[in-house]
Amino acid sequence: AQSVTQPDIHITVSEGASLELRCNYSYGATPYLFWYVQSPGQGLQLLLKYFSGDTLVQGIKGFEAEFKRSQSSFNLRKPSVHWSDAAEYFCAVINNAGNMLTFGGGTRLMVKP
Amino acid sequence: DAGVTQSPTHLIKTRGQQVTLRCSPKSGHDTVSWYQQALGQGPQFIFQYYEEEERQRGNFPDRFSGHQFPNYSSELNVNALLLGDSALYLCASNPPVPEPTDTQYFGPGTRLTVL
């Protein structure tokens, strides 16, 4: 069975500082991985996705993620955080049929001025 | 181009009642998935509808049922509501013939509170 773990429930960073959100997955085949962001009261917006090729994936809003098969990880990074990045971030893996996303528990990001 | 829309935005019900939530997929999409997001947790897959049939189902009881209409819109029905059904219910849509690499587009959700 596929699963996703986000070890950090809450993270606080200062505005302008770098950010890394951790994600570990468990999946028997080649994983297709996603990062979504959810602002308060909003639905989920896709930041980026990985399914093959270059292990460093660029997304929207200046985010990137690196797929490391040996570590079963897909960590999200941003070099300089803005106050508007405060939100909840979810890592997810999809099954081969492409119809069922399995999400991690999420990481809530707070940004200090 | 309208994205995924859901109604109502908020809903309050009491235990034992039944509820119906609605979703219209993004233009050009014909596949609809439903997810339940309890407070402080990640979304959990309930089921997916394609060509008016349930194609895949997550680990949810039969109290949760759905329907898809010819115009691709969908309803989620929950019977005999429990307090634990309180959650944000998210609808997502896919383009035709979903592939794992496709993006699921999510609506803003319906917040259900069961008292």
User: How many Cβ pairs closer than 8 A exist between chain A and B?
Assistant: 72
Which chain A residues are within 8 Å of B92, Cβ to Cβ?
44, 101
What confidence score (pLDDT) does residue B100 get? 66
Q: Are strands B74-78 and A19-21 parallel, antiparallel or unpaired?
A: unpaired
Q: Is the minimum CB–CB distance between A51 and chain B shorter than 8 Å?
A: yes
Nearest to A6 by CA among A24, A19, A18: A24
CA nearest A52 in B: which residue? B101
A14 has a pLDDT exceeding 70: yes
**Gap between the Cα atoms of B64 and B94, Å rounded:** 21
What confidence score (pLDDT) does residue B1 get? 63
A97 has a pLDDT exceeding 80: no
pLDDT digits (tens, 9 = 90+) for B21-43: 999 999 989 999 999 999 999 99
**Gap between the Cα atoms of B64 and B18, Å rounded:** 10
A25 has a pLDDT exceeding 90: yes
Q: Name the E strands within A1-113.
A: 3-5, 10-14, 19-21, 24-26, 32-38, 44-50, 56-58, 64-68, 73-78, 87-94, 101-103, 107-112
Residue type, B16: G
Residue where the block lists tokens 């797929």: A67
**Gap between the Cα atoms of B1 and A93, Å rounded:** 27
Q: Do B58 and A106 touch (CB under 8 A)?
A: no
Q: How large is the C-alpha radius of gyration of chain A? A: 13
**Gap between the Cα atoms of A24 and A68, Å rounded:** 10
Q: Do B101 and A51 touch (CB under 8 A)?
A: yes
Residue where the block lists tokens 């509170």: B113
pLDDT band for position A95 (cuts 50, 70, 90): confident
**Gap between the Cα atoms of B34 and B20, Å rounded:** 13
pLDDT band for position B97 (cuts 50, 70, 90): low
B98 has a pLDDT exceeding 90: no
**Contact assessment for residue B103 and residue A41, using Cβ atoms and an 8 Å cutoff:** no
